[in-house]
Structure 1
Amino acid sequence: MSNNVIIVGGNGFVGRELTMQWANRFPEAEIYITSRGDRKEIQGAHVHHVQVDVNDAQSFENALYGDEADYIVTLTYGSQDAVTTVRDFAEKHNLKAIGNVGIVNFGIPEMADFVTMKKEELKTLQEGSVRVANYDATVIWNKYRNDEIGKGIKNGDYDEMPPVSVEVVAEQLIDRITQAWKA
């Protein structure tokens, strides 16, 4: 059985870790990383970069070979078109599961809009017939994260939302995705 995967938004912080762990766990799997830009953060014999906008369902379909994939992961946020494209693609190609990273709702007013958006995206994915393997995270980090969130974590700004390492998020998501089809 193959474990080929499409990682939508795979050049980002979580996507890079997910790609590295997937390649280590399933060395023969073909990994298709999609992004709008031409970044190619992770290289490897089985890693394929596909420049495509997931918001354009027809272009996404034309750019990928869904019949060669077993799973798809969406690491996008803020676009119902993107999650609808992922859901419909998974259904059309009879994929085993869709992976998604959601967010834990800690009741922080500044996060309310983001939490609502991520819950709506998850709901859209779950409206389809393909099983959704979701991992709800808090703030995702690792010691190399030097953006504003990384600095905030080091300053204790997110203590009420205990940060979770990107390595744990990727490991848990892979476990949930690859086991979801058995349920």
Structure 2
Amino acid sequence: METSHQLPIQKEPEATLSVDPKKFILWLFIVSIVMLFASQTSAYLVRRAEGNWLEFEMPAIFSYSTIVLVVSSLSMQWAYYSAKKDNFTNLKIAISITFVLGLAFLWMQFDGWREMVNMKVYFVGNPSGSFLYVFTGLHAFHLISGLLVLAVAFVSAFRLKIHAKNLRRIEICSTYWHFLDILWVYLFFFLLTFN
């Protein structure tokens, strides 16, 4: 007697979408920052419409600091492309330039605050000045966190842990850095438009 043995048909496992947990956390952090600044700019517009608003010119150094931050974004992108090509010399130079420009931006922000004090625009007093200090202060705080992320990438670059087959650190760093740059450009033009 012949018995037929049927082999069970096995299906190929379905491919699952995997997300790098560190990149996912970064994107959650970015979304929370966007929500924070969206609420702050909305509050700014509502309060401005109520009146009793001090009109003043933004310190010129904020314009210069914007240029510095945009250039730092270009050097960050150069660092990323250098890492993809395993050009370690350019990676180290580009990430060093980005770090120095980030520090220069922070110094320029503090100098902008000094100029505002000289113009008699204080944190306490008219809400227009308060909002400007809050916006620039929150951004400076996030930029300091960006410099910490950049410092990790900086050390990793000098230890040759960033290369074409291991780009996660530089990808996280460049994503966050570009986001901070875009956020500042948005804030700068928002304040120029609605101040």
TM-score by length of 1: 0.27
Higher helix share: 2
TM-score by length of 2: 0.26
RCO higher in structure (CA 8 A, sep ≥6): 2
